[in-house]
Structure 1
Amino acid sequence: MKTALICGVSGQDGAYLSKLLLDKGYQVYGGSRDAQSSNFENLNRLGVLELVKLVSISVHDFRSVLQVIMKVKPDEIYNLAGQSSVALSFEQPVETLESISVGTLSLLEAIRFSGLPIKLYNAGSSECFGNAIEAVDENTAFRPRSPYGVAKATAFWEVANYREAYKIFACTGILFNHESPLRKERFVTKKIIAAACRIAKGSNERLVLGNINIWRDWGWAPEYVEAMWLMLQQSEPEDFVIATGETISLKDFIIIAFEYLNLDWTKYVSFDDSLFRPTDIEKGLANPQKANNKLKWKAKIKSRNLIELLIDSELNSKYL
């Protein structure tokens, strides 16, 4: 039986990854800053809360990380911890950089110090790339346009450095946007889906948004956590872009969602300039061919199917 430690287990990806690993027969430890009082609602929604062994770990604190690693002795560590909102990173840039870059460095250094043969997965982000003129892959230069993107780029190079310098099995999954019913409403996709469903049920509210002329590659989170696991099953550690390869505009996302509910989106959506970010990525284009070839991973659920799944889940209160 393999043992996995998931840092940031309470989030969307942490919950789906927990379920995946448990289904594969792993012993799963879920790390959170305060395991006694943290909200593990997502684990509960997926029916796995009682099966995950919860541990308190502060990834900012090297001593805390080392203590947990020496106690648990995991075969695999999944670093999903850190501030996860691009919009919030403009309001809390210091917290964002510290939670992501210092947390990643603590894990790497603790693995090195422990001497244990631990494999590390690090959660990267497409935000590292910035605007894409053409589809990006693992060799595309980073040009981040948010504090969040800067923090993720920093963590990426920390992982690459420890892999090269100390031969640690550490890799980064450069994941493009991936959604699920577990998303919080601070994420624009969830905000749109939740509001559209309430309006379909009779609410007279308006959906207030910022810039909808952005293009993103949106995928299905339960599929993306499988790619994380596959990266740690390879003979050599490598970084991978994980995406569907299909990009649509946020405006099209809105249109598809409202049309699925037989609504005219123009009657319910208004705009607020204050919701625009200081800098934003206009278009995200991805080439996940390396993951297709080496991991044998390919996204099955793309934009329209994803939106329909999210709406059906929201209307029926199901967590898929």
Structure 2
Amino acid sequence: MPRALITGITGQDGRYLAEFLLSQDYEVFGLVRGQHNPKRAVLEQELPDVQLLTGDLADLSSLITALHTALPHEVYNLGAISYVAYSFVNARHTSEITGLGVLNVLEAIRLAAGPGRPEIRFYQASSSEMFGKAQCVPQDERTPFWPRSPYGVAKAYGHHLTVNYREAYGLHASSGILFNHESPRRGHEFVTRKITAAVARIALGLQDTLTLGNLDARRDWGYAGDYVEAMWLMLQAEEPDDYVIATGETHSVREFLDAAFARIGVTDWSPRVRTDPALLRPAEVDLLIGDASRAHERLGWYPRVGFTELVERMVDADLALATVEADRLATPAGTPARPVGAAR
């Protein structure tokens, strides 16, 4: 039975990847930071077959211990400080985890190698944020990096390290340059989930308005469940390489709002959406769109969930959560929640 170790397993991608690997008959280990991590109980309930290990990307010794315990054939490094806005507030912490954390994982793998031990194949979660002020459109594996945030800089450092360890030590180490990928499991701090959660609450009369920053920023948005399969395919390839994973379509935040509000029957969302300059990034990434031709040709990977379906899935999931909240808050007890499309 193949064994895999996933860092960042409590995040959106980690949970989807763990589900996928279990469906492929893997023995799955997940690295969790801190014994009292609040996400641990949720993960144990959701994925009871995953074996959880305590570790920290900032602590090399804990990573070495995790490798000795799991003896994995594959390591997926999904752990990071992944919220771009936070990286401007705490650039050092972001750099230590998102950047130097990659070095620690690679060093642990290099030190774990030896006679009688299985080859460890390594996946690094790189990011389209490395392109930042993109030098060409669309972006592919040959596009120069110009990161526009401490997060993007840290990801670029980890990406280059992965290439270096592949070339210097012969590691089967691949990087997935993933463009934005979303799902109902996305954190509420990200703009997509902020939108769909607010739209659901507005539909049920639990919220009046939504405040956002730049509505004109454009992103290549895909479905996280599709993207984790690309990660796995990279480690099944005979030779390691770097791959852009994207849909090849770009949409603005305004278009995301259009699709989300349309799901609840609202065509003019302008009275419900406000903008706040305080939510703008110090340096914006205006246009990201990926060319995943290499992944199509070499891995046979293609996205299955389109933009509108993705947004609708997220809104529907948040409507279910908001309905529970509305029913709980209803007065008197038993009063039904407002129908979809209703607002205060």
TM-score of Structure 1 vs Structure 2, range by shorter chain? over 0.9
Which deviates more from structure 2 when the two are superposed, residues 239-248 or residues 58-67? 58-67
Match of 1:128 among 127, 130, 134: 130
Give the TM-score taking structure 2 as reference length: 0.89
Contact 1:10 1:41 in 2 (8 A): no
Contact 2:246-2:289 within 8 A present in 1 as well: no
Tell me by how many angstroms 1:8 deviates.
0.9
The residue correspondences of 1:8-47 to structure 2 (distance < 5 A) are: 8-40=8-40, 43=43, 47=46
Q: Is the 8 A contact 1:35 1:54 kept in 2?
A: no
Q: Which among 235, 240, 244 is matched to residue 238 of structure 2?
A: 235
Q: CA deviation at 1:43?
A: 3.0
Give the AA of the match of 2:225.
Answer: P
Aligned length: 316
User: For residue 200 of structure 2, what is the aligned residue in structure 1?
Assistant: 197
Distance (Å, rounded) in 2 between the aligned partners of 1:170 and 1:195: 40
Matched letter for residue 87 of structure 2: S
Say if 1:12 and 1:42, in contact at 8 Å, map to a contact too. Answer: no
Q: CA deviation at 1:40?
A: 2.9
Q: C-alpha displacement at 1:316, in angstroms? A: 2.6
- The gaps in structure 1 that reach 5 residues or longer are none
Contact 2:32–2:40 (CA under 8 A) maintained in structure 1: no
Whichever of the two has the greater Rg, that structure is 2
AA aligned opposite 1:118: I
Cα RMSD, aligned residues only: 1.4
Among all aligned residue pairs of Structure 1 and Structure 2, give the percentage whose two residues are the same amino acid. 44
CA displacement, residues 256-312 of structure 1 (integer Å, 9 cap, x when unaligned): 211221122111001111000100100001101111111100011121111111111
Q: Which residue of 2 aligns with 1:165?
A: 168
Amino acid at match of 1:270: R
Quote the Cα distance in structure 2 between the aligned partners of 1:296 and 1:121.
18
Question: How far apart, in 2, do the equivalents of 1:10 and 1:18 lie?
Answer: 10
Q: Distance in 1 between matches of 2:206 and 2:6?
A: 39
Show the counterpart of 2:328. Answer: none
TM-score (norm 1): 0.96
Q: What displacement does 1:250 show?
A: 0.7
**Which 5+ residue runs of structure 2 have no aligned equivalent?**
323-344
AA aligned to 2:101 is G
More displaced stretch, 126-135 vs 78-87: 126-135
Partners of 2:204 and 2:18 in 1: CA distance: 33
Tell me the SS of whatever aligns to 1:6.
Answer: strand
1:244–1:35 Cα change, 3 Å: farther
Report if the CA contact (8 A) 2:198-2:207 is conserved.
no
| Alpha carbons 2:124, 2:176 under 8 Å: kept | yes
Equivalent of 2:157, from 149, 154, 159?
154
The answer to whether the Cα contact below 8 Å between 1:11 and 1:42 also exists between their aligned partners in 2 is no
